[in-house]
Amino acid sequence: QVQLQESGPGLVKPSGTLSLTCTVSGGSISTDNWWSWVRQTPGKGLEWLGQIYHTGSTIIKPSLKSRASILVDKSENQFSLKLNSVTAADTAVYYCVRELGHSGSSLEYWGQGTLITVSS
């Protein structure tokens, strides 16, 4: 069964860049699935951030397009999220997720999540 594991800095300074990597094991990232990033804050619940296909095609939530990017590294079986100009509002648990299939099909396999705190 496929497993996903997020890794990141834990703490990011305001106005800095949040960088997260998701390592996929138990299967290839080059399957016919999309791969997503989702975050969860106590105040706003679950929020989908963006997704990528192994070809490099991405869809980013419109409100984050100016700050977010998602890349795939097939050689490492990983995909990553970069979020620029972070503020306290970006403090959340970040999850990487494999979708059931096509974009929007559903979020099937989730990583355990990693807490990112934005603070000086």
Partner 1 sequence: QSALTQPASVSGSPGQSITISCTGTNNDVGSYILVSWYQQHPGKAPKLIIYEVNKRPSGASTRFSGSKSGNTASLTISGLQAEDEADYYCCSFAGMSIPYVFGTGTKVTVL
Q: Does 16 bind partner 1 (CB under 8 A)?
A: no
Q: How far is the CB of 88 from partner 1 (least distance, A)?
A: 20
The helix, strand and coil proportions of the chain, stated in percent and rounded to the nearest 5, come to 5, 50, 45
Q: CB-wise, 11 or 100, nearer to partner 1?
A: 100
Q: CB-wise, 50 or 78, nearer to partner 1?
A: 50
Q: How far is the CB of 114 from partner 1 (least distance, A)?
A: 11
Q: Does 95 bind partner 1 (CB under 8 A)?
A: yes
Q: Does 70 bind partner 1 (CB under 8 A)?
A: no
**Bridging pattern class, strands 92-99 and 107-110:** antiparallel
CA torsion 44-45-49-52 (nearest 10°) is 180
* CA angle in degrees (0–180, nearest 5) for 31-53-74: 65
User: Applying CB under 8 A, which residues contact partner 1?
Assistant: 36, 38, 45-48, 51, 59, 61-62, 95, 100, 103-108, 110-113
